[in-house]
Each structure stands twice: as structure tokens, then as C-alpha cells.
Amino acid sequence: MIGTDIDTAVRLLQEGQVVAIPTETVYGLAGNALNQEAVSTIFSVKQRPSFDPLIIHVGRVADIPYYIQDIPPVLRKLADAFMPGPLTLLLEKKLIIPDLVTAGSPRVAVRVPNHPVALDVLTKLNFPVAAPSANPFGYISPTTAQHVAQQLGEQIPYILDGGHCSVGVESTIVGIENDRPTVLRKGGLSVEAIEARIGPIAVREHSTSNPIAPGMLKSHYAPHVPVILGKPEDLLPTLPGKSVGVIRFREKTAGIPDRQQLILSARGDFREAAQRLFAGMRYLDQLALDVIIAELLPEENLGRAINDRLRRAAAG
Ligand code: TXA
Ligand code: MG
């Protein structure tokens, strides 16, 4: 059931149930991170392999120290600058965080979502909430309550509706690797914004099938329709007779019906493009196309996170 009652979501979470909550990035499938049964339910509803760890969400930056050992100064700077916001920090966990949440890792991923409804829920709870994106494992992340309902509606008691997600791609994950701050998943906080605060940061490119590398499963965010990357003008001649969808940053593509084209931002705005990406991919996915051509965006700003999602959609 979809609703807007914060107290219902809070009560269900306190009972150890799993509910969908809005965040500014994508909707999350939330449960009490300190309750093994709630965490197990998250994994089974999402059909997520237990080796892929979960992010915990808290309502205040000041709550983070309850769950982690200490924050290295450089990550502290990022927390001060960007939390609440689309930033997740990987930090040494305290014992209170179950190994199930971190898939056995000594580090836990922590974030403070910048969404009034999420913050309202989280500040009413006295435990952190584990929440992966509220989609079946490997599929496109949800950016509306309706997206969640379409796929997980039967399996969870409540979907808290907070409207369209304003960022639209998942949080940027940052940890310390080999003594250097490193972006482990490109996301809704741009590398440029991070570097403006702390100077140069390493960026791990995607694409290992080794899940020990966080959030980095190669095929992900994938529609059911196959996705190929390239320039539509080059690829279309190789696809005679096929029903083709196109994802592009700004331009229209000649010879493709308008309804089969996802133009992410005609005015070339990366924020708008990120906001529209996942809903647009879902829309194209239900048109019964043979194939979707996706053209990469400029490799800058949120274009980097968008390209990462497009590459992984095409890796399926
Ligand atoms: O924006 C977001 O981060 C959304 C919203 C709901 O907060 N959440 C999200 O969660 O994207 P999820 O589970 O779909 O992706 C989290 C990624 C996973 O791929 C996981 O591998 C990585 O974060 N991760 C979580 N905990 C980790 C840990 N302890 N060590 C390494 N990677 C971790
Ligand atoms: Mg996810």
C-alpha cells in the first residue's frame, strides 16, 4: 500500500518490518539495521545476494558516532560539507552493527539522506535503518513510490510516498583505500564538488564482478530490453527492421518515433538528466522494444554517474 503517513512507516519499522521510504537519491527498502530478522527480510524481498552489503541511514550527522569507530579527518570534512546529502561514507564499524549488514566487512556504509520525509522517519527512530535501493536486485532503481509498488508492492506492507526523488541517482560512496580518499561509486554528489572541498580524490572505475569491491557489480541498473552504447546515427543502420529506443543527453534522433526517445535534458542540465534517467529507462523498458541505444554524456559532473549507470545497464 502507498501512503503518506509517517507514523505508519515508523511503527512498522519499530515492529521489525520492512517498508519503502523516499530519499533524495532513490527510494530505499528500509528495515531496522540492528535487527537481524529485518535485515534478512530486506535481502529476501530484494532477492539480493548476501555478499552485497547494505548502507545504514541515520537522521542526524551527530548519530553517526554511535555506529562507527572514528572518522578520518578528510572524511569528516566531507561529512561536514555534504551531509545530509547524496554522500555515503565507508567507516570502521562498531560491534553493534550486525555482520549481515556489512556482509562480514569491518566497514559499514553510512549516510544521512537529505529528504524531509526520510529525515522525519529517521529522527523518530532510535536505531539506524538499513536500506538498499527498493528494486529487485539488478534492475533499475525506483525514483517514485509507484515504481516501488510495481515491483515490490505485494511483498511489503507500506510504501511511504515522498514524491519524485530530486537527485535521481544513488549516493556517491567514498572510503579510504590505500591511505587515499577514494570514490567507490559515482553518484549524486559530483567528483568536482568533492574535489572543491578536499582536493584531488581517486576514483575507482566500475566493472569488477568481485563484490568485495563495493557497489561494483558489473551488470546492474539493467532494463529487460538489451542496451547498447554508441552513437544512434552509427548504430541504427546496423539494426534494420528493429524497434529501437534511444537515450540521449540533448538531441533528438531522426527516424525514431518521439515516444521511443528519452532526451535526458534538452537544455543540457546534468541535474535534470540525472533526475529523469531511471524513470525514463523504466518507461522505455515497457514499450516492448527490441533494443535501446544509449549515447554516453560528457564525462564530467553528474554525467559521470549517469554514464556509469548506462555502462552497467549495457553490461547485462
Ligand atoms: O542513494 C543510495 O545510496 C540509496 C538510497 C536508498 O540511500 N541506496 C543504495 O543502496 O543505493 P544499494 O544497496 O542499492 O547500494 C549500496 C552499495 C552496494 O552496492 C554495496 O555494495 C555498497 O553500497 N556497500 C554498502 N555497504 C558496504 C560496505 N560495508 N563495504 C563496501 N561496500 C558497501
Ligand atoms: Mg541498488
Q: Is the distance from the beta carbon of residue 108 to the nearest atom of ligand 1 less than 6 Å? A: yes
Give residue-wise pLDDT tens across range 143-162: 999 999 999 999 999 999 99
Q: Is the pLDDT reported for residue 208 higher than 50? A: no
Q: Is the distance from the beta carbon of residue 91 to the nearest atom of ligand 1 less than 6 Å? A: no
CB 93 within 8 A of CB 100: no
pLDDT of residue 213: 46
Q: Is the distance from the beta carbon of residue 9 to the nearest atom of ligand 1 less than 6 Å? A: no
Question: In which element (H, E) is residue 220 found?
Answer: none
Give residue-wise pLDDT tens across range 296-306: 999 999 999 99
Q: Which residue has the cell 537481524?
A: 36
Q: Which residues of 165-176 are buried (b: 16+ CB within 10 A; e: fewer)?
A: bbbbbbbbbbbb
pLDDT over 90, % of the chain: 94
Tell me which ligand sits closest to the C-alpha of residue 132.
1
pTM of the model: 0.96
Q: How confident is the model at residue 7 (pLDDT cuts 50, 70, 90)?
A: very high
Distance CA 299, CA 308 (A): 10
The set of cell numbers assigned to 38 is 529485518
Q: Is the pLDDT reported for residue 67 higher than 70? A: yes
Q: Is the pLDDT reported for residue 73 higher than 80? A: yes
For residue 142, how many other CB atoms are within 10 A of its CB? Answer: 27
Tell me which ligand sits closest to the C-alpha of residue 216.
1
Distance CA 303, CA 175 (A): 21
Return the residue whose CA atom lies nearest to atom 21 of ligand 1.
215
Tell me the CA–centroid distance for residue 242 and ligand 1, in Å: 36
Tell me the CA–centroid distance for residue 252 and ligand 1, in Å: 34
Cα 91 to its chain centre, rounded Å, is: 19
Distance CA 40, CA 184 (A): 25
Give residue-wise pLDDT tens across range 238-273: 999 999 999 999 999 999 999 999 999 999 999 999
Q: Is the distance from the beta carbon of residue 182 to the nearest atom of ligand 1 less than 6 Å? A: no
Tell me the CA–centroid distance for residue 178 and ligand 1, in Å: 20
Q: How confident is the model at residue 217 (pLDDT cuts 50, 70, 90)?
A: low
* Start-to-end C-alpha separation, the chain: 31
Q: Is the distance from the beta carbon of residue 59 to the nearest atom of ligand 1 less than 6 Å? A: no
Q: Is the distance from the beta carbon of residue 84 to the nearest atom of ligand 1 less than 6 Å? A: no
For residue 73, how many other CB atoms are within 10 A of its CB? Answer: 8
pLDDT of residue 191: 98
CB 141 within 8 A of CB 277: no
Tell me which ligand sits closest to the C-alpha of residue 221.
2
CB burial of residue 216 (10 Å; 0-12, 13-18, 19+): buried
Q: Using CA atoms of 284, 289, 293, 297 in order, give the dihedral in degrees to the nearest 10.
A: 0
Phi-psi region of 104 (alpha: psi -120 to 50; beta: other; left: phi over 0): left
Q: Is the pLDDT reported for residue 316 higher than 50? A: yes
pLDDT over 70, % of the chain: 96
Tell me the CA–centroid distance for residue 236 and ligand 2, in Å: 31
pLDDT of residue 216: 54
Task: From 54, 57, 62, 64, select the one nearest 105 (Cα to Cα).
Answer: 54
CB 132 within 8 A of CB 26: no
Strand pairing partners for 19? Answer: 30
Q: Is the distance from the beta carbon of residue 109 to the nearest atom of ligand 1 less than 6 Å? A: yes
Q: What are phi and psi of 96, to 5 degrees?
A: -60, -25
The set of cell numbers assigned to 113 is 539522506
Question: What domains does the chain contain, in order, with CATH numbers?
Answer: 2-168 (3.90.870.10), 227-315 (3.40.50.11030)
Return the residue whose CA atom lies nearest to atom 19 of ligand 1.
215
Give residue-wise pLDDT tens across range 274-297: 999 999 999 999 999 999 999 999
Atom number of ligand 1 nearest to Cα 214: 32
Q: What are phi and psi of 193, to 5 degrees?
A: -65, -40
Q: Across all residues in the chain, what is the average pLDDT?
A: 95
Tell me which ligand sits closest to the C-alpha of residue 169.
1
The set of cell numbers assigned to 283 is 518507461
pLDDT of residue 221: 82
Tell me the CA–centroid distance for residue 133 and ligand 2, in Å: 4
